[in-house]
Amino acid sequence: MVGILVCGSNHFIVRGPKPDRETALRLARYWSIIEIGGKERPEFAAWRISTKEFREELSWAVIAPDDGEISPAVAILLEELRDRGVEPL
């Protein structure tokens, strides 16, 4: 499965199952802070950031609360998902 995790003005295209809200928040925090030499966390093994996907393949969306504003491009993508019946969590 492929989805989008939106965190304010940032977003990640993710391969893996749709996470629950708590897990999505933890994933967003984990991927937003770069740790040089950091080890992968086993609890996040089911998900990975993907750099090449087709928008038509997105099957889930989660919006994590953040102070940043969702970019116009991501807002359009979320609207496309809603039109296809995919409601963001």
Using one digit for the tens of pLDDT, what is the confidence trace for 19-48? 998 999 999 989 888 777 778 889 999 999
Cα–Cα distance measured from residue 39 to residue 57, given in angstroms and rounded to the nearest whole number? 29
* CB neighbour list of residue 47: distance below 8 Å, 6 or more residues apart: 14, 15, 16, 17, 19, 27
Cα 30 to its chain centre, rounded Å, is 12
pLDDT score recorded for residue 59:
95
Q: Find the helix or strand (DSSP H, E) in which 79 lies.
A: helix 72-83
What does pTM read for this prediction? 0.87
Read off the pLDDT of residues 48-86 as tens digits, 9 standing for 90 and up.
999 999 999 999 999 987 778 899 999 999 999 999 999
Domain boundaries, the chain: 2-83
Q: Annotate 28-59 with b (16+ C-beta within 10 A) or e (fewer).
A: beebeeeeeeeeeeeeeeebeeeeeeeeeebe
